[in-house]
Amino acid sequence: MLYSEKVMDHFRNPRNLGTMDDADAVGEVGNAKCGDIMRIYLKIKDDIITDVKFITFGCGSAIASSSMATEMIKGKPVSEALQLSNKAVVEALEGLPTHKLHCSVLAEEAVKAAVKDYYDKNGIAYDKEQFKQAPTCACGE
């Protein structure tokens, strides 16, 4: 089987799926050409992520990666969410096929994009190096 039970569970029963009208921050990453687009919504109170939602247009691995990433940052300080890595998402999902690893990278980048949006909206200083993105699209776009 290509996918772990964890991946299949998060694909079939995604956690934190949906939009958030009153979000404190929104991060969107992806590329329409390769089909994976992730949007993460954050609700933040006293520097803690109190709620998180996501909408992902993409394959099962993209949906599972988004779902797992939201579970991993919910209830955590913003600074801790910023440390989320695609490797941690893959480990939590008990692996992804090599050709689907870019989905976990998109999940990491969507979280970072949402945190950056929060920092920008609230005038919070940050190191711009933390938010540099490498191209993640497998189609090379």
Tens of pLDDT, residue by residue over 117-140, are: 999 999 999 988 888 765 555 544
Is residue 44 within 8 A of residue 24, CB to CB? The reply is: yes
Residue 140 pLDDT: 45
Return the closest-CA partner of residue 106 out of 128, 84, 126.
84
Residue 80 pLDDT: 96
Residue 129 pLDDT: 85
Question: How many CB atoms within 10 Å of residue 31?
Answer: 17
Residue 32 pLDDT: 73
Task: Work out the average pLDDT over 93-113.
Answer: 95
Is residue 113 within 8 A of residue 68, CB to CB? The reply is: no
pLDDT, tens digit (0-9, with 9 covering 90-100), for 21-49: 999 999 999 977 767 899 999 999 999 99
Amino acid at 27: G
CA dist., res. 19 & res. 85, Å (int): 23
Q: Which residues are catalytic?
A: 34, 103
Tokens standing for residue 105? 């990278």
Supply the pTM of this predicted model. Answer: 0.92
CA dist., res. 140 & res. 20, Å (int): 31
Return the closest-CA partner of residue 102 out of 58, 43, 70.
58
CA dist., res. 31 & res. 33, Å (int): 5
Distance, first Cα to last Cα, the chain: 30
